[in-house]
Structures are given as structure tokens and as C-alpha cells.
Amino acid sequence: MSELNVGGKSKIDIKPETGGAISVKKEASGTLIHFKETPILLAHFPQEMAKKFLMLGREEKYNSHVDILRKGQVGRDMFLICQGRISVWKENIILGELLKGDVFGELVMFRDHYRIATVRTEEPTIVLRYNRQCLLDFFARQDPRYFNIYTMNIIEILRRKLIATNSRVVKLEEELVRQ
């Protein structure tokens, strides 16, 4: 266990970034949502809070090769991948691939925005959809430190995506130089 300083006021005990397994059974469908390791989105949350968060998401199932989001749509929802593999496309170029535990659309927590890419399933996929207003209402009923932790987790997710993008740009630049 380590400590996390939240908002400069209090310290709380946290689990390591990749905590243990977490599971919930969605009541409406009976689907078991299970992660062998806690997704980054839920890092540093107590187990019960992480389970509440998972229960909040609306389960959606998609077949292979289905667009979940399209470039240019107004975004109001964030998604957590529970099963499957998703690709991210822009202008017929694949920008990346997302797997179980990854999130997309995470910026909606802060404001509506136009989607900058198309997100497509590559195999049968289950996601949890989180509407921004639903998330705001959820966190308004919790201790404020959990919203701070959530925000820090979103920043970590964005940091990792930026690192991956930078790495891809460097590889492409190196290929151009060799040509």
C-alpha cells in the first residue's frame, strides 16, 4: 500500500496502480464483468467504490466490425472496454487499438466535444457506456476525493495515449528519413 495526496489536503491509502481482480454482475443482463487487474480508470479506488462505478455503466454488446462512434459526432459518453478489441480510425488510417480495460471518449467528463476519430469493433465486444451527466451525479454523491482520483486516472490515461502517439510519430518520421 502507498499513499496518495488528494487535493493537497488529506492522504488516503491506495492500492498499487494495477490492483487485484474486480468483478460485478450486471443485474439487467446477468453478464459478469470481470477484470483480472483493475483498469487504470479505477486505479486507487477502494474495491467497493470501483464496483459501484462498474455498476453505473450501461452495458452494450457489439458484433465485429461495427462503428461504436463516428468521427464528427458530438460526444457525451465515455466507454470502458470489458471484452473484445477495438480499433481507432481517422481518414482510413488506423490510429491504434484498444483492449479490455482501456477507455475511449474520456474527455466528455469535462465537456461535450466532437469525436476526432471513428471507433470500430474488431471482434465481438462488450463495453460499459457512461453518460457525462450520470458520472457527474455519481461523483456529486461521493466523497470529493474520489472525483479527484478519477480525474488523476483520466490524466494518466491521456498521458499514456500521448506517449504511444509520440512513439508512433517518431517511428513514422524515421521511416520517412530512410526513404
pLDDT in tens, 54-84: 999 999 999 999 999 999 999 899 999 999 9
pLDDT per residue as tens digits for the range 144-172 = 999 999 999 999 999 999 999 999 999 99
CA distance 172 to 170: 5
Q: Is the pLDDT of residue 3 over 80?
A: no
**CATH 2.60.120.10 in the chain, residue ranges:** 58-135
- For residue 118, give every residue at least 6 positions away whose Cβ sits within 8 Å of its Cβ, in sequence order, or none: 67, 69, 70, 71, 88, 89, 90
Look up the pTM and report it. 0.85
pLDDT for 6 equals 39
Q: Work out the mean pLDDT of the chain and round it to a whole number.
A: 88
The amino acid present at 147, given as its one-letter code, is F
Q: Who has greater pLDDT, 29 or 123?
A: 123
Superfamily (CATH H level) for 58-135: Jelly Rolls (2.60.120.10)
